[in-house]
Structure 1
């Protein structure tokens, strides 16, 4: 009998079916050298199987061949989007990790087979090739789409704008080129994602490479020059449709988390800081009456603090800003998690009604002032705070790490900090959460964790064409 192509068993037509997937056993975590000069960044493999003797330990690691990459938001080469009816690629495997370096503009392709605990580099796309074929620099976020791999970039090789998206083939990893045909007024760029059921792509704004690579530019911040808008695009025609303005006081509009159900045209985006009062916020974009709209649905105030214990950047304010630097949405679209990297608070909201989120849980770890300890090490003051967050497909486990971006780490935590990763357990109804006392992973000294990806997929790795 002739062999038949079968879809990768980790691909699911709908988020509802993906929630029934087997629990993850491994997590892949990007590790960076915060000095950018002492040693290469690395990809760690972490055992997340509670039945394993090596639970909550690094069981594999591959060091990159270069120094100074600053590995950032990596992703899979292929995912459940390959089952979409208009661009089916069921023969593609979720096998390779596409790993960009935000500082070097280099992209590594890591093969996780034949041993998922021993990923290895099979291709390196050098910066010159990225510059030549796309005109972009500082690749930041990767998403596997129905027809290929989308990669966002913060700007151009000269450090300015515009930023945007370019495409990789998800089998050969050859660069296809820029994605945009008509970018309209869009200049700043950060994250992007889509509503496959509505042929719409949404993008957000941070800053150009020259505005971020040396840390937060206080002058640019106070002048409102960081991103403060979303952009709506025609996904098929690759054209800008409209800009959704949040207001210039809302600075750094970062992580996008659209509803996973493709019939739901809404999503959440986090805003790092308000110039008015140092608060952070979460906004809802939504389609209503044929018109895209946006409104603030969560506001998190700054916390008063003694200037003596604040970093130089904040002494004049006498307060700790929450600094919402990541958010994530469970696959059933009912639970939103919010990382407050400045105060060290990690928040959970019931968003069954996305227009009216209800707070259902909170834990503290780290924080600029609080330095809250983990239950397993009450004696250890922690630096950094909740940052990159990832959720298991069934919504029962949440993981996060504590590093944002090396030059920004230095500004807000000038005393330095060690890299760590934790896990939280969530009950079946999705309300409430508790730190797992057996899962407090401290990475190799001199390395800090950033993006987390779960074996087989997670809440921010896949998109779906069926509800």
Structure 2
């Protein structure tokens, strides 16, 4: 008789996941803005007892150039333990790594040597387009029945609609588009779900032409980027409701639902308001039989001398926060908000999701501030906290500093550099402290910029749970 033993990094509940062992490695997407060198996955040592702590200890280059690695994820996670579609035979073994510009999807095997992931498959752009009708793959989530990948564009040069493609867990073949009925949805970006409630949520950015060469001022001021989130019947794959935040709230991007599967709320970050350059955080929640969104955090722009600003911002005389990522701790207590424009990472206690309380903040970089890292106090930093990842126990937060190649160039025209910082968290009262021993930067990444980080064994934005 065959007996299946689930991957030990899978946990049925967020409570048990929060007690998981600390990560020893982190995987970081590194890309060449010029498209002349291959992009790579860098491997960082996160074990504080190691002689190579905080250093790049592994490096896997991809076979082509011009991919622009961005977001990526695991092939399988704790959702494999959900009773509606159990897959106890899958492992958290493969990294699914899309190229946002090339539309290729790379599959890297981390099992033979976790420090040196091996490329085992490339899904070319034409296969993704032919089988799913999409291009520009972006976000990866491991579902219990397959690998879900959002995409910003349509196939064969079509600007849209964007949507979600589904890959097979083991063969990595493209099964097809997820949507059976998309209703009014056209723009795409992030997605996630309340799995036990058969609810999927999606957000909006823009089509490839709206984002690939940088932010387009006329589109922004014309309020033509995304400004709504969508709710879907997960089981039937059908659109249920569009909720508009108001067209002044441009680009609701990252979605972070409560990890507790009995809860029916989540957070979405809005990059910018065209009325005052502020950023904001909203909560989605039930409103009778429908869904609603409520703004719970406003983050104002900071005045600045025009001479200190990039050309895009000179007419406004201010630095927008530019909330480009948020992340929610596995215990649903702390929400982290990256303000890539001002260089601030904010920490909120969201035990009451409708009344967040700020409990921590750290500044690194920033368009004007260029705040240095404590380990190098005389070295001004470019970029700012952008992608955020939290350890499963909530004690460590990792941030990287590049947003998207063409957008980096607009907001940091003198160069964005490359760095990854680790912040230690006070788990009782909140508060953030940069770790002076962990700050890989610059030449450590061989001329590449760095975007998303994934943690060995899972992290706060990799897994879904089906038990409270």
Q: TM-score, normalised by structure 1?
A: 0.99
1:457 aligns with 2:435: no
Determine the structure 2 residue equivalent to 1:86: 84
Q: CA deviation at 1:418?
A: 1.5
Partners in 1 of 2:129 and 2:445 — Cα distance?
33
Check conservation: 2:109, 2:120, Cα contact below 8 A: yes
Determine the structure 1 residue equivalent to 2:412: 413
Partners in 2 of 1:337 and 1:310 — Cα distance?
26
Select 2:153's aligned residue among 152, 155, 172. 155
- Comparing 456-465 with 159-168, which one deviates more in the overlay? 159-168
Q: CA deviation at 1:3?
A: 5.0
Structure 1 residue ranges without an equivalent (≥5): none
Q: CA deviation at 1:445?
A: 4.2
Partners in 2 of 1:433 and 1:363 — Cα distance?
7
Q: CA deviation at 1:131?
A: 1.0
Partners in 1 of 2:305 and 2:430 — Cα distance?
34
SS of equivalent residue, structure 2 residue 232: strand
Check conservation: 2:30, 2:445, Cα contact below 8 A: no
- Comparing 150-159 with 456-465, which one deviates more in the overlay? 150-159
Partners in 1 of 2:109 and 2:44 — Cα distance?
16
Q: CA deviation at 1:159?
A: 4.7
Q: CA deviation at 1:4?
A: 2.0
Determine the structure 2 residue equivalent to 1:48: 46
Determine the structure 1 residue equivalent to 2:315: 316
1:122 aligns with 2:120: yes
Partners in 2 of 1:356 and 1:427 — Cα distance?
20
Q: CA deviation at 1:123?
A: 0.3
Partners in 2 of 1:297 and 1:12 — Cα distance?
31
Partners in 2 of 1:30 and 1:430 — Cα distance?
32
CA offsets 1:378-410 (integer angstroms, 9 cap, x no match): 010100000000000000000010000000000
What are the residue-to-residue correspondences of 1:162-177 with 2, within 5 Å? 162-177=161-176
Determine the structure 2 residue equivalent to 1:326: 325
Determine the structure 2 residue equivalent to 1:232: 231
Partners in 1 of 2:57 and 2:164 — Cα distance?
34
1:10 aligns with 2:9: yes
Check conservation: 1:42, 1:61, Cα contact below 8 A: yes
1:101 aligns with 2:99: yes
Check conservation: 1:335, 1:430, Cα contact below 8 A: no
1:188 aligns with 2:187: yes
Partners in 1 of 2:257 and 2:432 — Cα distance?
22
Determine the structure 1 residue equivalent to 2:422: 423
SS of equivalent residue, structure 1 residue 236: coil
SS of equivalent residue, structure 1 residue 215: coil
1:402 aligns with 2:401: yes
Q: CA deviation at 1:156?
A: 1.1
Check conservation: 2:409, 2:416, Cα contact below 8 A: no
Check conservation: 2:252, 2:269, Cα contact below 8 A: yes
The 4+ residue runs of structure 1 with deviation greater than 4 A are none
Determine the structure 2 residue equivalent to 1:435: 434
Partners in 1 of 2:161 and 2:32 — Cα distance?
28
CA offsets 1:309-352 (integer angstroms, 9 cap, x no match): 10000000000000000000000001000000000011000000
Determine the structure 2 residue equivalent to 1:447: 448
Q: CA deviation at 1:427?
A: 1.6
Partners in 2 of 1:5 and 1:38 — Cα distance?
45
Closer, same or farther in 2 for the Cα pair 1:159/1:430, shift >3 Å?
farther
Structure 2 residue ranges without an equivalent (≥5): none
Q: CA deviation at 1:161?
A: 1.3
SS of equivalent residue, structure 1 residue 297: strand
Closer, same or farther in 2 for the Cα pair 1:204/1:98, shift >3 Å?
same
The alignment covers a number of residue pairs equal to 465
1:274 aligns with 2:243: no
Partners in 2 of 1:151 and 1:378 — Cα distance?
40
